Structure 1
């Protein structure tokens, strides 16, 4: 079964065509083994535009992956926008990404990335750099199909 994935890159420069979206390409490469990218957008670091992109993506996708805008820079507002549109948080996903990141760099603890659910769609914030996107996604990728199946109503028991 192919899952439907949305990629939203949050980048002021990317939204103006001044920077190539390498992180979005990394996400597509990793998820393409088990999912189809059905929505792709580059938006500036503006909370309302991020929220609108997420809300639009939710209507098309089982999984929305944002990248960029998760740090401490004043314009990094992706987690704030995400918190305003999700209905439930899934904190273990962001925690797993930070733990994996800490094994490589101490600055991973500065990530404000969040993950949550809106309706039957899982929404996850990833960092902005291609390297950090790859490392973060690799830390959580094996759990994502199961999470999506559960959101879609899979009644099978989780214990093995």
Structure 2
């Protein structure tokens, strides 16, 4: 199965449809709810809903998801019935397969309940397809429409002294590259408030996004937050709230991160934890929000909002 453990949960919907061709007298039986086996439309609706809820058991590589809504509707025509299945969830992956499975099994149920009333060649289940999907990366982009520069500042005495490699900062560079941030400035400095202040002063109007890595914990030299918080002219507390919430579902230690985020003049500054996993989780949790900000505002503070 595909690993979706590092994907943020979003509200997701999918609509799928299928068509069952049948003789006119069979369509009339559907309208009347009067087949030999009972009310076919009602029975097929229940079958479709159950299919949506059990898709992960039927299709081997589908993830189990909480299904918040599953419904099946119909449009009856002279010689065919259109089946429309709608499925909704809040999860790390979409419900396209759930909607397609619901439409398919509802159609098969109608087929089964109509076959005593006509010849086999008179029935045909056709055109099962996805009509619409919302949520996830198709709705909340994780890639900038236009490339944009950024800066990554890693704070670590041991990394700056060459005593260990920088895995956290390098991972952040990879994530930014995938999101279409280009010409990313990368620097490693000791846990020094003075050097950090000097870099921020130098870069604050040069890079739309500045990410610091390290210094957000509870150690005696973790002073990134104390250094940068007084400089924030417009805080964005929701960014770090989302990061901590995302991280806490993966490790209880995320609650100890004191990171802050906001604008220092025209640069959006966000302080990430110093561990590789912590930095990765914190950035991935808010990447769609960052992409939205920069795609919409182009370095001008934006009021936000979504559709």
Q: TM-score, normalised by structure 2?
A: 0.49
Q: Which residue of 2 aligns with 1:9?
A: 154
Unaligned runs of 5+ in 1: none
In the TM superposition, residue 86 of structure 1 has moved relative to its aligned partner by: 2.1
- Selected match of 2:287 from 135, 141, 145: 141
Is the 8 Å Cα contact of residues 262 and 268 (structure 2) preserved in structure 1?
yes
Contact 1:9-1:67 at 8 Å conserved across structures: yes
Q: Within the alignment, does 1:100 sit opposite 2:239 as a pair?
A: no
1:127 aligns with 2:273: yes
Structure 2 segments unaligned to the other structure (5+ residues): 1-145
Q: Which has the larger radius of gyration?
A: 2
Structure 1 counterpart SS, 2:274: coil
- Match of residue 60, structure 1, among 203, 206, 210: 206
Q: Contact 1:14–1:21 (CA<8 Å) still a contact in 2?
A: yes
Query: How far apart in 2 are the matches of 1:41 and 1:3?
Result: 18
Counterparts of 1:157 and 1:46, CA distance in 2: 34
User: Within 2, Cα distance between the matches of 1:159 and 1:44?
Assistant: 39
Where 1:32 maps in the other structure, the secondary structure is: helix
TM-score by length of 1: 0.91
8 Å Cα contact 1:39/1:57 also seen in 2: no
Larger RCO, structures 1/2 (Cα 8 Å, 6+ apart): 1
Query: Partner of 1:49: helix, strand, or coil?
Result: helix
Q: Of 232, 239, 242, which aligns to 1:86? A: 232
Decide whether the 8 Å contact of 1:71 with 1:111 is kept in 2: yes
- State how 1:140-159 maps to structure 2 within 5 Å: 140-148=286-294, 149-150=296-297, 152-153=299-300, 158-159=305-306
Distance 1:3 1:40, change over 3 A: same
Q: State the alpha-carbon separation in 2 of the partners of residues 133 and 67 from structure 1.
A: 7
- Residue 68 of structure 1: how far off its partner (Å): 0.6
